[in-house]
A and B are shown apart, each in its own frame.
Chain A
């Protein structure tokens, strides 16, 4: 008799079963089931394959191959919650299986368990997906979109642009990039109908900029700013573009953004940076100070304030802010460069040397910089 519930070990260790000589019958049964399941799967008889894998797994619950194939069958049949549950069992048997984490994260995306989904998709990326290019593309797409939803806009933008560079289909990326550029924590499916056009313009503009097509980028950004003048993020995005082209116009756009969203730390910092570049310290300093006040745990705010204080020759104050920034974002090379220069100026040679070594470490390939 085939044990339906419980492990094969249980069946094998049941003295009664052993005495009756039934153990020998169990193994071929499992083999038969697993072979039949594989055959059904190969022949695209999915429902039958699912049933057979379920039966085989009832005999041997921790059978990795069975768990994997059953989960892929569930996923293909859009039975995402079932796929998710089986994958969780699969990953207990092998926690280093990148594709397993990927499929789990993708299933959780479909069941709207977004925090877990992102966590598991990122784990999949760190473990690697082998030569599964299609799966990798899906994983990257979901990761980019989810990072935006979790307000990790800089991470998501860098990531999405790296997808563009590596040849991912651009059409698919317009909306995720637009959302990230406008700093709207939504998935493409969650875009309000009345602003889809705005988001697409932002995405297309950012893509044009990435492709060094500044004329097209400006056309799109300026049209977006004209069509949606009261929306958050629109003037910031256009302003950030203009700061590199016509800084005066860029400053005006940033100020417009701050009128619409007075607590926008990013716009404040970008404006402060521009004033620092223009050596207008008296205008730069209050903006950076306000940014620190608004977001006391935001390393770029401390970095900007530190840079301005150093430029104003308040080295002690500048170093204090830069060290706070470094504590919050030890991977940011720019902060370490700032500190290296500041330490060197005040003669703190050992500290400067340490920063230099850290910069070298961070700049080594594979350090994610």
Chain B
């Protein structure tokens, strides 16, 4: 998309402007955005269960330690 398309998109607001920018980057722009979105989704897939599990493990370990103290 050329300068005319970019100016027209600017009148239409944020998302249109972002798409106009993306299209002006050529094929590698689409490839880079694909890679970036995939990476974000993978991190979003892995991070919550990993953090939740770490918290739960710490909680259970602390409880086991408390019980051990009580029995001692």
Answer yes or no: do A and B interact.
no
Spell out B's residues near A (CB within 8 Å): none
